[in-house]
């Protein structure tokens, strides 16, 4: 072997992340579970929007009845997508293989996260018929719809990062699912108005709004109104960053002994 070939025994950050993304995505689409998931996602989105959300009865050209349900849908669907990310590597023993390849832990974490996020983005993109429908029926504020889609994607990413972290905690996918549903539920109800209304009876409004500012609902609602506030986007990005950092700490801890 010549020197040049000997040099090229590990890839760049980007090719490493791309390699991991490709493997994870082919894992999703190589199994029927992905298609089942997509169908369930679309059916649920449709059911919640058109029946419970009374999309037609509202007779308004907006997608509010569509997006309001996303936090509740993601609460279960995102952990279902992400629960195997790390627990499966631990169960199969492939973690040892992966972490002795010339890739860094952040590259692996980001690659896995991105792959699942892309999968969720595809699911979200498949809901575009709803968007087309409102445009046919009336003239909605398409800017607001676009920011709501952005908010939805960021929300899914936040839940996904949390799921990625919890899935590193255990070999058992079911345990990782339950843990992430619980954490995500906390982040939802901290800003869910029936809960915040209840809280205001006991504590000062300052405390309530402080608690609510940690909720995904507060920031998701803001994005639905069609305003891109950097604080809202920043909130989701910091949840993602924080959870993925926790993910790295947990995986490092697994090996420290």
Stretch of 42-50, 65-73, 92-100, 128-136 contacting another protein, by CB under 8 A: 92-100
226 is a site residue for another protein (CB under 8 A): no
Comparing CA positions, the residue from 79, 244, 92 lying closest to residue 165 is 244
Residue 228 has a CB neighbour count (10 Å cut-off) of 13
Q: Which of residues 26-55 bind another protein (CB under 8 A)?
A: 26-27, 30-31
Min separation Cβ 145 and another protein, Å: 37
| Using rule CB under 8 A, residue 116 touches another protein | no
Answer yes or no whether residue 106 interacts with another protein by CB under 8 A. no
Rule CB under 8 A: is residue 13 a binding residue for another protein?
no
Binding flag, residue 81, another protein (CB under 8 A): no
The pair of structure tokens assigned to 227 is 């305003």
CA distance 198 to 94: 47
* Residue range at the interface with another protein (CB under 8 A); choices 25-33, 44-52, 172-180, 191-199: 25-33
Return the range that interacts with another protein (CB under 8 A); candidates 22-30, 124-132, 150-158, 238-246: 22-30
Please name the residue ranges forming H helices in the chain.
3-7, 13-29, 32-47, 55-58, 64-67, 70-82, 84-92, 94-98, 105-125, 128-137, 142-168, 173-189, 193-200, 205-212, 216-224, 230-256
């Amino acid at each position: 072997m010549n020197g040049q070939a000997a040099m090229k025994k590990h890839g760049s950050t980007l090719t490493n992340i791309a390699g991991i993304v490709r493997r994870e995505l082919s894992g999703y689409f190589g199994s029927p579970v992905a298609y089942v998931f997509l169908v369930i996602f679309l059916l649920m989105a449709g059911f919640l929007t058109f029946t419970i959300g009374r999309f037609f009865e509202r007779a308004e050209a907006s997608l509010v009845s569509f997006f309001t349900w996303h936090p509740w849908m993601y609460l279960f669907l995102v952990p279902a997508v992400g629960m195997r990310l790390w627990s499966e590597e631990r169960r199969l023993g492939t973690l040892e293989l992966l972490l002795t390849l010339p890739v860094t832990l952040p590259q692996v974490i980001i690659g896995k996260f991105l792959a699942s996020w892309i999968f969720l983005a595809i699911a979200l993109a498949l809901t575009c018929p709803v968007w087309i429908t409102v445009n046919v029926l009336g003239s909605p504020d398409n800017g607001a719809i676009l920011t709501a889609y952005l908010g939805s994607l960021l929300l899914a990413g936040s839940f996904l990062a949390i799921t990625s972290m919890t899935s590193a905690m255990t070999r058992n996918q079911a345990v990782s699912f339950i843990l992430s549903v619980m954490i995500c539920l906390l982040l939802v109800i901290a800003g869910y108005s029936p809960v915040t209304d209840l809280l205001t009876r006991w504590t000062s409004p300052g405390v309530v709004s402080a608690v609510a500012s940690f909720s995904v609902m507060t920031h998701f609602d803001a994005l639905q109104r069609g305003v891109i506030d950097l604080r809202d986007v920043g909130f989701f990005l910091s949840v993602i960053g924080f959870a993925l950092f926790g993910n790295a700490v947990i995986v490092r801890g697994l090996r420290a002994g």
